[in-house]
Amino acid sequence: MCPLPCCGCSGKHEVSKTDVIRYNSIGSSILNIISGGLDTSGSNDGGCSKSDGQVYVRGGKSGDKYALMYSWYFPKDQAAPGMGHRHDWEGVIVWISDPAKTSADNILAVCPSGHGKWDCSTDDYTLQETHPLIKYYSVWPVNHQAGLTNEAGGSQPLIAYESLPEPAKNALETVDFVKANVPFKEENWAENLGKATF
């Protein structure tokens, strides 16, 4: 089993479990291509901090290491009423030495994201078994971002980018999320791995 992040929370801002893409049970056709996001009015969590959803993952080799990029979609990024924007994508890159190993000592670094930057730690992260503990929290007054925590939270179903049906993958590759970028799409993949240095 790969080191799937276990998500914590900060106040009422639990990691969003809102689907960005919905497709039928066999994954062959998209029913609701892309969420429209939420306006930056109302409560910071938009009343959906405990809704169902998933975490996307994409893996690949970079140099002599292997990266697992886990990403979450949030319908808005609002730290204060009226501030922020629709849509947010945040994530964590977990660097491992060998994709065939499942032990905690295989983890080289854990790198949570914050608006296009990746803050890597080689030893200052907490694990629950082999799962890095990650939170989504507010950096008032500007935005939300992913970060390290020592509190266990919830977990979501894992959706592998490589296993997505072509219409779903194409939607993630082409839809404009305005101020938010899908971190694992082809255009951003290598650049984000390059930013997550340790």
Q: What is the pLDDT of residues 103-151, one digit of tens each?
A: 999 999 999 998 789 999 999 999 999 999 998 877 766 677 789 999 9
pTM across the whole model: 0.76
Which pair of structure tokens corresponds to residue 132? 């890095």
Averaged pLDDT, 3-23: 40
pLDDT exceeds 80 at position 162: yes
Whether residue 152 lies inside any domain: the answer is yes
Q: 72 lies in a domain?
A: yes
* Structural domain includes residue 56: yes
For the cut 90, the answer to whether the pLDDT of residue 177 exceeds it is no
Report DSSP letters for 57-110, one per residue.
Answer: EEEEEETTEEEEEEEEEEEEE-SSTT-SEEEEEEEEEEEES-TT--SGGGEEEE
Q: Which residue has the higher pLDDT, 24 or 190?
A: 190
- Within-domain flag for 66: yes
Q: What is the pLDDT of residue 15?
A: 37
Q: Determine, yes or no, domain membership for 178.
A: yes
- Residue 184, pLDDT score: 95
Mean pLDDT computed over 79-102: 80
d(CA 149, CA 29): 37
Domain that holds residue 154: 6-22+51-195
Higher pLDDT, 81 or 188: 188
Q: 166 in a domain, yes or no?
A: yes
Give the N- to C-terminal CA distance of the chain in Å, as an integer: 24
* Count: domains in the chain: 1
In a domain, 82, yes or no: yes
Whether the per-residue pLDDT at 59 is higher than 90: the answer is yes
Asked if residue 35 is part of any domain, the answer here is no
Query: Is the separation of the CB atoms in 169 and 159 below 8 Å?
Result: no
For residues 173 and 115, the answer to whether their CB atoms sit within 8 Å is no
- Residue appearing with tokens 């990746």: 118
Q: What 8-state DSSP symbol labels residue 121? A: B
Confidence of residue 181 (pLDDT cuts 50, 70, 90): confident
pLDDT on residue 26: 33
